[in-house]
Each structure stands twice: as structure tokens, then as C-alpha cells.
Structure 1
Amino acid sequence: MTDLLNTIQAALALPATAPTFNGAGALPSAFAVTDLASASIAAAGQAVARLIEQQTGRLPEVSVDRRLASFWFASSIRPQGWQVPPLWDAVAGDYASADGWIRLHTNAPHHRAAAERVLGKVADRADMAGKVARWNAAELEEAIVQANGCAAQMRSAQDWQRHPQGLAVNSEPLVQRETFAAARETPWLGSIARPLAGVKVLDLTRVLAGPVASRFLAGLGADVLRIDSPTWNEPGVVPDMTLGKRCARLDLKRSDDRQVFEGLLKDADILIHGYRADALERLGYTAAEWQALAPGLIDVGLNAYGWSGPWRNRRGFDSLVQMSCGIAQAGMAWKQADTPVPLPVQALDHATGYLMAASALQALSERLRSGRGGSARVSLARTAKCLLEAGQVPEQPALRAEEPGDQGLVVEQTAWGPAHRLLAPLNISGTPLQWDLPAQELGSHRAQW
């Protein structure tokens, strides 16, 4: 725990003080997943505490419940009388190739279509397995990526260290931070109880890491507006991830929607985005464009495989990065299994999300102090390196299956029906994490502040 916390604190320029950790939580893995969960949530809490201290002179105490942190890294919502749709497409998953293992990510229809352009139409997993078995893993990975799909060959950590992209990721800091000259003097409108009241967050992220960040900021009082394309959906995670947010749709390839988006951006304090490194540039939006449109903007970006190297523009997700960087192979050896063994939760996504939130809070503190905006860049692959460097751990007893009692749940009337939401794993004295809006469907609001 100490090494992970120290590494994250150093990356965020947070004081090397220890928050309080209590409770027991264990997510069985070759790696310290519960420690990563607890440390990343604690760092986000410390960033909140430092913002409050800067504005009020009072430094709140920060504590993390390890058991709740472990649960939140899986899911924070417990539906009552309805079910969350499956997280995975029917043919997504790991397959044995002619010379090893490969993971296919087919959750989005266009990603499944890309895989089927390479492999041919498939009816089910057995059909997919038969087609994959004829391919060399590296060749299939490259073919699907070239078809604009998502796939990852299983590599060992040693192979990843020698890979050009592994070398590139190793040269990057855990958080790349920059302060801009462009200034915007804005007063602090918050309070100890709601430190982000009046802060507008424009969220262009999908699936998990970015939405984790904006969900956290919403719990501190920020006005979070999530923007999705007209056709995007992720039904398996929306009930967990849209808590506290308003959700709208815009097509940034349409001139009228671009005008709406740019109007939103001009009034935004924080922009969170998770597009590939070149995707926004192709739409005409670079970091320089952000600052020209919104001087003093805080710009927090996420990438799967890092911000340099040959894969900087590659599509990727947590499960794919785990295959590429050696986590799944190490888990397989640890478990003495004959198939890949990933982390028990999408821990790279969740931890990176809290790094994004902490980065946004640090940049906001700087802007309140100097008027200058700033940027932060993080990646799932760099978070994976942090976890790998912490080393393998002895086998832990599994987190008990029973849920927290009534004292650990809050009733929430979501767009799909009633649900129980776990209490937040983070306690900041005087600053309760609380969300003003229940989880919503994507596109359920207008694109306006």
C-alpha cells in the first residue's frame, strides 16, 4: 500500500502524508488490487482536502474504507427489481490462437463488425473460437486493429518491456501535468460541504475511467454534463456511471452541433476527454484550440496505451491493456491456469479515473491561486506499470460475497427503477460525497448548462 500511495502522491505533487485506511477488503489477484483501489481513492480525497485548505485554511481529514473501495471498483449500484444488462458482448473475450492467446473486444457494434470483417461472420463463441484458432495471435491482433477494431495478444511483462510501446510507456510519467499561460480569473463559489459548487465539467468520456472521474467530481457539487454521439450506448455500465450527471448527445461532425459544443466549452471550467490521441485533432480540436476557445480551461485527457510511441493512437480498453502488458499472463501463472487470468475488476479503469479526478482538482487549485489553466494526461498502460512495479502479493482471502447492511446503502430512484447505491468509500471530514441526480439514460438531457 505504502509504495503505491507514495507513487501516486508524487505523480500528483500531493504531500506525502498518509490518509487513514480502515476496514478489510480483498480482491484476489496476483497483484495488490485492493491497495490500488484504496490508494487512488485516497489521493483523490487528498486533492479535495488541499483545495479546501487553500480556500479556507482548514485541512480536512481523509479516510478510506478498503472494503467499500473494493466494492466500488466492481460496481456501486444494486438494482432492486430490475437488472443491469450484461457487461460484455456475447463473443467478447479470450481465445486460443495457433500460437497463444488473444482477447477480442466486441462490445460496441462497430468493433464487433471490425472483427468480423477480418474473421468472417460468427454465430457464437464456439464459431469464433474455431476461426481464431487458425490465426497467429500477433497477425490477428494487427489485422483487427487495421480494420479499426480492438484486440490484444497476450504478452508477458518481459515481452512488453521490450516492445516499442512498452518502452514508450515506461518513459512517461504516471501523470503528465502542464500549466498554461492563458488565464481566467474565477472566484471560488464552493464551500467546505460542496467544494465544487459552480464548477462546470464537460465530460467527453465513455465506459469507465473518465466516467469514474466525472462521477467523483459530481459528488463534490460540480455541474457535470456528459456528451455522447447520437449512436453510442454502453447499457452495461450506464446505471453505475451516470450518477450525478446530466447526459446529452451531440454529433461533432455536424456544424450546428459543433457550434453548440463550442458554446458549452467556452463556459466550461474542466474538460475531461478519453478519445484517442489523434481523434480530437482530426475533428479540429487540439489543446491549442481548447485554450483559444476557453482560456484558462482545465483539460484532462485519457488514453489507453500512452501518449507516445507507435500505439499512441490505438483503440484500447482496460481488459486489452491487461493482456498487452503482462497482467493477464502473470495471473495465469499465479493461478496455475490454462487460460488468461485478468484482474478481478477493471482496476486500471477505476484507478486511472481517480487519478484524472485528482489531476483536475490539483489544476483547479492552481487556477484559483494563479488564474492559469492546465492539462493532465494519463493512460491505462501507465497505471498498469504502476501496479506491476508494486509487485505480486501473497494470495488474499476473497472479499466476502455478502453486501453491506442497510447502513451501507442509499436508496436511489434511477431511470430504470429503484436501486441501492453503496455508501462512498471515501470520507473527507465536513465534505460528504453526495450526488444530487440519480443515474440517467444517455441522451436524457439537453446539451446546455
Structure 2
Amino acid sequence: MNDLLTSIQAALGLPHTSIPFTSSGALPSAFAVTDLACASIGAAGQAVAELLRHQTGHVPAVEVDRRLASFWFSSSLRPMGWQVPPLWDPVAGDYATRDGWIRLHTNAAHHRAAAESVLGACADRAAMAAKVAQWASTDLEHAVVEAKGCAAEMRSWAQWQQHPQGLAVNAESLVHFLAAQDERSQAWQGSLAQPLAGLKVLDLTRVLAGPTASRFLAGLGADVLRIDSPTWNEPGVVPEMTLGKRCARLNLHDQADRAVFEGLLKDADILLHGYRADALEQLGFGVERRRQLAPGLIDVGLNAYGWSGPWQNRRGFDSLVQMSSGIAEAGQRWKQADKPTPLPVQALDHATGYLMAASALRLLTERLNTGRGGSARLSLARTAKLLVEHGPGTTQALRAEDEQDQCARLEQTPWGPAHRLQVPVEISGTPIQWALPATELGSRNPQWA
């Protein structure tokens, strides 16, 4: 556990102090998923403590609960009398090919259409399986990706270590910080109870990793505004991930909406984005333009497969990176299963989300000191390397969840009432709490509060 935390602390420039991890047990897995949950959440908590040390001279104590950290890596929401829609599209998943396995990610309608443009229309999994079985894994992965879809052949860790993209990821740091020269002098408006009060976070992220980061920042008092395109939806994760945020829609191909976005960006303190590496550049909002519009901006970017190498602009998700990087193959061997066995939770997403939040907090601490902005780059594939190299997991089970694990407060969401689990990290004097319940995408106007 400690070497995982130490690696993360080193990547973030945090002091090598130990963080107590309370309770026992772990998520059963080929890899140390619970250790990763505790270390990434703990580092985010420590980044808050370091911000407060810088501002107040006092360092709060940080503590992480292993059980709660494990549960939050799955979901924090406990609906009362209603159900969250399913996470996966009916034909998404793993399929046997002629020579191995492939995963198709079809949750978004245009990604399913891309897969079907290669394989033909498939009404259900059985139809899809019959068509996939005729292909070689490498050929089908290539064909679906060329069609602008999302697919990943199952590779072993050894194969990934020899793959050009695996080699590129190996050369990248867990968090790549870049200093900026442009300045924005702004006094700290926060407090011990709400360290990020008065800060504006513009959130251009989707699904799990980036939204985990913005959810954590919202819990510290930041004003988080999430922007989605007019057509995007992810019903299976919205109730979980929009906690504490206001959500609006903009079409960045539309001139009027672009002007609104520029206005929002000018006032933002922190920008979180999780598009493919070249996507914002193609929209005319590349690194230079963002700096021009918002001097002193803290710019934190996430990519699936890394920021260099032949796949740096490839579409990807946690489940695909697990297939590519050897995690699902190692899980299959660990469980002695007859099919790919991923991690029990989307741990790459959640861990990278907390690392993004911690990166933003480190850059913010620096900006309060020097006035200068900066950026950080992270990737799911690099987080995968951290997890794999940490070594095997454990089979020591967690005590089952009970009602004591839930907050007493009721969250009134658009779908119905719900409880949240207790927060897994304790920062003394700084309660992590959210002023706004989860909400529908596009339910607010694109403007700061």
C-alpha cells in the first residue's frame, strides 16, 4: 500500500507522509484495487491539506476508510424506490474472435453505429457474437477504430510492453505538470470549512474519471459548471456523477455557443477536459487559445491511452484500457476463467479522477503562491501501469455494506430521493459536502452562478 501512495505523492510533489487507512479487507481482484482507491483518494485529501497549510499555516489530519473507498469506486448513490438506468448498452462487452477476445464499447449511439458499420446491424449480443467470431482480433480492432468507434483487443501485459503505445506510456510520468508564465493574481476566498469557495471549475469531462475530479472539487466548495454537447447523454452515470454541479449544454460548432463558451472560460479558474488529445485543438480551443482567453488558468487534461505514441488521439474508456494493457488477461488467469476478467470496478477511471483533482489542487496552491497558472496531463493507461506494477491483490473480503455506511441526509434528485454513502476521506476541519443534489445534463443555463 505504502509504495502506491509514495509513488502518487512523488508524482504530485506531495510530502512523503503516511496517511492512516482504517478498516480492513479489499475488493477481490488480481490487482490491489482497494489500495489504489485509498492511495488516490488519500492523495487528493493530502493535496487539500497542503493547500490549507499554505493558506493557514495549519496542516489538517487526513484519514481514509478502506471499505468506503472501495464502495465509492463502484457507486456512492443509494436510490430509494427508483433505479439508476443500466450502465451498458445491450451489445457492449467482450466477444470471442477467431484468435482471441475483443471488447466493443457501444454505450454512445454513434459508437454503436460505428461498430455496426463494420459488422453489420446487430439486434442483440447473439447476432454480434456470430459476426465477431469471423474476425481476427487485431483486424477488427483496427476496423472499428478506423470507423471512429471504440474497441480493444485483449492483450497480455507482456504484449502491451512490446506494443508501440505501451512503450510510449511507459515513458510518460503519472502526472505531467507544465508551468505557465501567464499570471492571474487572486486572493484566496476559501476557508478551512470550504477551501475552494469562490473558485470556478469549468468541466468538459464525461462518464467517470473527469466527473470524479469535479465532484470532489465541488465537495470542497468550488462552483462547478459542467458543459455537454446538445446530444450527449449517459443516463447510467448521471445520477452518480453530477452531485454538487450545475449542468448546461453548448454546441461548440455553433458561433453563438462558442462565444458563450469563451466567456465562461475567461472567468474559469480551473478547466477539466477529457476529450481526445487533439479534439479541443480541432475546435479552435487549443492550448495557446485557452491561455489567451484565460491567463493564469489551471488546465487539467485526461486522455485514455496517453499523450504520446501512435494511439494518443484514440478514443478510449476504462474497460478498453483494461483490455489493451493486460489487466483483463491477468484477471482471467487469476480467476482461472474462460473469458476476460476485468477489475471488479472501473478503478482506472476513479483513481485517475482523484489524481486529476489532486493535480488541480497542487496547481492552485502554486498559483496562490506565484500568481501563475499551469497544466497537468494524466491518462488511464498510465494509471493502469501504476496499478499493474504495484503487484497482486488480495482475497481478504470487505465487510458487507450496511445502513451505517450511508449519510443520514436525504438527497432530493430529479429521479427521486437517495442517500449517499459516507465520504471515504476525512480532512479534519474540512467536511466534504455538496450544496447541490445530482441533476440532469443540460438542466441549467450556461452561466456562472
Q: Where on the TM-score scale, by shorter chain, does this alignment land: which range?
A: over 0.9
Offset, 1:411: 1.6
Tell me the secondary structure at the aligned position of residue 24 of structure 2: coil
Alignment of 1:80 with 2:80, yes or no, is yes
What letter is aligned with 1:439?
A
Match of 1:31 in 2: 31
Whether the aligned pair in 2 keeps the contact of 1:157 and 1:327 (CA below 8 Å) is: yes
Separation in 2, partners of 1:407, 1:394: 26
Per the alignment, residue 270 of structure 2 pairs with 270
Residue in structure 2 matched with residue 370 of structure 1 by the alignment: 370
Map of 1:247 onto structure 2: 247
Alignment match, 1:423: 422
**Counterpart of 2:410 in 1: which secondary structure?**
strand
SS at structure 2 position matched to 1:281: helix
The residue type equivalent to 1:248 in the other structure is A
Aligned to 1:384: 384
The whole-number CA distance in structure 1 between the counterparts of 2:401 and 2:176 is: 39
- Alignment-mate amino acid for residue 26 of structure 2: A
Residue 66 of structure 1: aligned partner: 66
User: Between the two proteins, what is the percent identity of the paired residues?
Assistant: 73
Quote how far apart the aligned CAs of 1:405 are.
2.1
Structure-to-structure mapping, 1:7-46, within 5 angstroms: 7-46=7-46
Provide, for residues 4-61 of structure 1, a one-character-per-residue CA deviation record: whole Å limited to 9, x for no partner: 1000000000000011110124111010000000000000000000000100001000
1:432-443, aligned counterparts within 5 Å?
432-443=431-442
Distance in 1 between residues matched to 2:236 and 2:56, nearest whole Å:
41
- Kindly report the root-mean-square deviation, in angstroms, between the aligned alpha carbons of the 2 structures: 0.9
Gapped regions of structure 1 (runs ≥ 5): none
Deviates more, 1:405-414 or 1:58-67: 405-414
Identify the residue that residue 310 of structure 2 maps to in structure 1.
Answer: 310
C-alpha distance 49-211 of structure 1, shift in aligned 2 (>3 A): same
Q: Deviations over 1:333-354 (max 9, x none)?
A: 0001110000000000000000
Q: Would the aligned equivalents of 2:186 and 2:371 in 1 still touch at CA under 8 Å?
A: yes
Distance 1:24 1:87 in 2: 29
Kindly provide the amino acid, as one letter, of the partner of residue 409 in structure 2: V
CA 1:114–1:367 in 2, change beyond 3 Å: closer, same or farther?
same
Q: Is the 8 A contact 1:412 1:418 kept in 2?
A: yes
Find the counterpart in structure 2 of residue 405 from structure 1.
404
Q: Is the 8 A contact 2:67 2:399 kept in 1?
A: no
2:49 and 2:147 map into 1 onto residues whose CA distance is 46
Whether contact under 8 Å (2:407, 2:419) holds in the other structure is no
Q: Equivalent residue for 2:191?
A: 191
**TM-score normalised according to structure 2 size:** 0.99
1:116-141 CA distance string (max 9 Å, x none):
00000001101100000000000000
Assess, with a 3 A threshold, how the Cα gap between structure 1 residues 365 and 274 changes in structure 2: closer, same or farther: same
In the alignment, the residues of structure 1 paired with residue 408 and residue 86 of structure 2 have an alpha-carbon distance, to the nearest angstrom, of: 23
What one-letter code is carried by the residue in structure 2 that aligns with 1:441?
Answer: E
SS of the residue 2:233 aligns to: coil
In structure 1, how many angstroms separate the alpha carbons of the residues matched to 2:349 and 2:401?
24
Instruction: Compute the displacement of 1:408 (Å).
Output: 4.5
2-structure distance, mates of 1:132, 1:220: 46
Equivalences for 1:213-362 in 2 at 5 Å?
A: 213-362=213-362
CA distance in 1, matches of 2:365, 2:113: 44
- Residues of 1 paired with 2:283 and 2:64: CA distance? 40
Distance in 1 between the 2:379 and 2:160 partners? 16
Question: d(CA) in 2 for partners of 1:407 and 1:45?
Answer: 20
Q: Name the CA distance, whole Å, in 1 between partners of 2:435 and 2:342.
A: 35
Shift of 1:92: 0.3
Partners of 1:285 and 1:85 lie apart in 2 by 34
CA contact (8 A) 1:101 1:153 kept: yes
Contact kept, 8 Å, 2:28 with 2:394, in 1: the verdict is no
For 1:50, the equivalent position in structure 2 comes to 50
Contact 1:199 1:222 survives alignment (8 Å): yes
**Offset at 1:392?**
1.2
1:107 matched to which residue of 2?
A: 107
CA shift, 1:280, in A, is 0.6
In 2: Cα distance, 1:78 partner to 1:146 partner: 39
Local SS of the residue matching 2:26: coil
On the 8 A contact 1:410/1:422 being kept in 2, the answer is no
Contact conserved, 1:409 with 1:422, CA < 8 A, in 2?
no
Separation in structure 2 between the aligned mates of residue 407 and residue 121 of structure 1, nearest angstrom: 44
Q: Could you list the runs of 5+ residues in structure 2 that have no partner in the other structure? A: none
Give the superposition deviation at 1:285: 1.1
Paired with 1:346 and 1:131, the residues of 2 have a C-alpha distance of 28
CA distance in 1, matches of 2:232, 2:215: 19
Kindly tell me: are residues 25 and 220 of structure 1, through their superposed partners in 2, closer, same or farther at Cα, counting changes over 3 Å? farther
Residue 146 in 1 paired to residue 146 in 2? Answer: yes
Partners of 2:401 and 2:219 lie apart in 1 by 26
